[in-house]
Amino acid sequence: MLLFWVVGKLAPLFALLALGFLSGRRLGVDEQTLRDLGRLLIYLLVPAKILLAIQQAEFAVTWEPVLAAVVVVAASIAVAWWLARWLVLPAAASSALMLGSGFMNAGSLGTSVADQFYGEQGFLLAMLFYITVQALLYTVGPALAGGGREQLREGAVNALRLPLIWALLLGLALNRAETELPAAAETSLEILGGAWKPVLLLTLGMQLSRTRLESADFRHLLPPLVVARMATGLAAAAALVLALGLRGELAAVVLISSSMPSAITTYVIGAHCGSDTRRLSLGILGTTLLALVTIPLVVLLAKAWV
Q: What is the pLDDT of residue 104?
A: 92
Q: What is the pLDDT of residue 242?
A: 93
Q: What is the pLDDT of residue 55?
A: 81
Q: What's 73's domain CATH number?
A: 1.20.1530.20
Q: What is the pLDDT of residue 236?
A: 96
What are the helix (H) ranges across 28-63? Answer: 31-40, 46-55
Amino acid at 92: A
Q: What is the pLDDT of residue 303?
A: 83
Strand partners, 262: 104
Q: Rounded distance, CA 135 to CA 165, Å?
A: 9
Q: What is the pLDDT of residue 145?
A: 67
Kindly tell me the burial class for residue 261, based on how many C-beta atoms sit within 10 Å of its own C-beta (0-12, 13-18, 19 or more): buried
Q: What is the pLDDT of residue 212?
A: 65
Summarize pLDDT for 203-243 with one digit per residue, the tens: 878 877 876 655 555 666 778 888 989 999 999 999 999 99
Q: Rounded distance, CA 99 to CA 76, Å?
A: 9
Q: Rounded distance, CA 270 to CA 233, Å?
A: 21
Rounded to two decimals, what is the model's pTM?
0.77
Low pLDDT (below 50) residues in the chain: none
Q: Which of 99, 104, 107 is nearest to 147 (CA)?
A: 99
Q: What share of the chain is helix, strand, coil (3-state, %, to 5)?
A: 85, 0, 15
- Cβ atoms 189, 56 nearer than 8 A: no
Judged by phi (left if over 0) then psi (alpha if -120 to 50, else beta), residue 90 lies in beta
User: What is the number of structural domains in the chain?
Assistant: 1
Q: Count CA within 13 A, CB hemisphere, residue 120.
A: 14
Q: What is the pLDDT of residue 95?
A: 83
Q: What is the pLDDT of residue 238?
A: 94
Cα 219 to the center of its chain, rounded Å: 24
Q: Rounded distance, CA 84 to CA 89, Å?
A: 5
- Cβ atoms 292, 2 nearer than 8 A: no
Q: What is the pLDDT of residue 182?
A: 87
Cα 1 to the center of its chain, rounded Å: 29
| Strand, helix or coil for residue 149 | helix
Q: 37: which residues sit within 8 A by CB, 6+ positions away?
A: 199, 203, 206
Each residue of 214-223: b (16+ CB within 10 Å) or e? eeebeeebbe
Q: Rounded distance, CA 1 to CA 17, Å?
A: 25
Domain that holds residue 226: 2-206+215-305
Residue 98, number of CB atoms within 10 A of its CB: 28
Q: Which of 272, 280, 261, 263 is nearest to 142 (CA)?
A: 272
